[in-house]
Amino acid sequence: MFGVVKKGGVAAAVIMAHLMIVGALAAQDIPPVEEIVERTNCVAYYAGHDGRAQVSMTITDPQGRTRSRRMTILRRDLPADGPSVCRNQKYYVYFHRPTDVRGTVFTVWKHADAGDDRWLYLPALDLVQRIAAGDKRTSFVGSHFFYEDISGRDITEDEHELVETSNNYYVVKGRPADPASVEFDHYVIWIHRVSFVPVKVEFFDAQGVKYRIYQATKVDTVQGHPTVVESRMEDRVSGGHTTLRFSRVQYDLGLGDEIFDERFLRNPPRDLLR
């Protein structure tokens, strides 16, 4: 039925079989795109059970002029209601400098089964301002990062496709499930295969033009967690960019849930902000 196989044919068949086995093993090593995205989201926003970091922000305009901000970020994870372990969460961001924003507080309550709640406290006006869902993709305190970039985007809001796998990276394309809710048409994200750290994200508009670029420019290991300690967001439309530098990063501090209540907007937990 198969006929006579000559010596060269046997060698070719062995090589082909070997390649098929290697290919099958490689395919087995590649998890489903949903798992890749879930793990990436957990690494980027959910290391440990809670966390604290001092953050320096440098905003550079198209002319090269800079402005600086300094803040403390507190974060606490909550049990998830659904199958995901990486969605319920609270953030507290307190601004130390410059003087005109000192005491400003940004808080987020992320929910697994509903839209996220975001508030901004403005001390000069003694005003708590709710950030509407439609504003989450607007500038975060004048920077090139959006509010949603700081606290994370719900992965269920996008459809994901694994478009490439290299030795070092998974390359995933994301499209919004509701295109009318966002300004981008799609994005492409490079995810480190070992650590699942998202190292680069490129955003494209409806014409296919790349207009925003996020890069993790420095990654350290903190308490066993791969942690982005320096990142940059570039706006190709304006020509400016913003750099974030994280220091004194700590995880698993045992932060209480009360810190994230409304009363702490006006009375910040100063012992945690030093």
What is the model's pLDDT at position 134? Answer: 79
Confidence grade of residue 25 (pLDDT, cut at 50, 70, 90): very low
Which residues neighbour 18 within 8 Å (Cβ) at sequence distance 6 or greater? none
- 227 token code pair: 């942690």
What is the model's pLDDT at position 247? Answer: 97
pLDDT at 160 exceeding the cut of 90: yes
Average pLDDT over the chain, rounded to an integer: 88
Mean pLDDT of 193-206: 97
What percentage of the chain exceeds 90 in pLDDT? 74
Looking at residue 119, its amino acid is: W
The residue extents of the domains of the chain are: 48-273
Which residues neighbour 115 within 8 Å (Cβ) at sequence distance 6 or greater? 133
What is the model's pLDDT at position 166? Answer: 94
What is the model's pLDDT at position 78? Answer: 84
128-133 contacts, C-beta under 8 A, 24 or more apart = 128/262, 128/265
What is the model's pLDDT at position 28? Answer: 52
Confidence grade of residue 121 (pLDDT, cut at 50, 70, 90): very high
What is the model's pLDDT at position 227? Answer: 97
pLDDT at 7 exceeding the cut of 90: no
pLDDT tens digits, one per residue of 47-102: 999 999 999 999 999 999 999 999 999 999 986 655 555 668 999 999 999 999 99
What is the model's pLDDT at position 111? Answer: 81
What is the model's pLDDT at position 70? Answer: 97
What is the model's pLDDT at position 209? Answer: 97
Instruction: Report whether CATH 3.40.1010.10 matches the domain 48-273.
Output: no
pLDDT at 15 exceeding the cut of 90: no
Lowest pLDDT segment from 19-33, 128-142, 209-223, 255-269? 19-33
pLDDT at 16 exceeding the cut of 70: no
Lowest pLDDT segment from 20-29, 59-68, 252-261? 20-29
Mean pLDDT of 240-262: 95
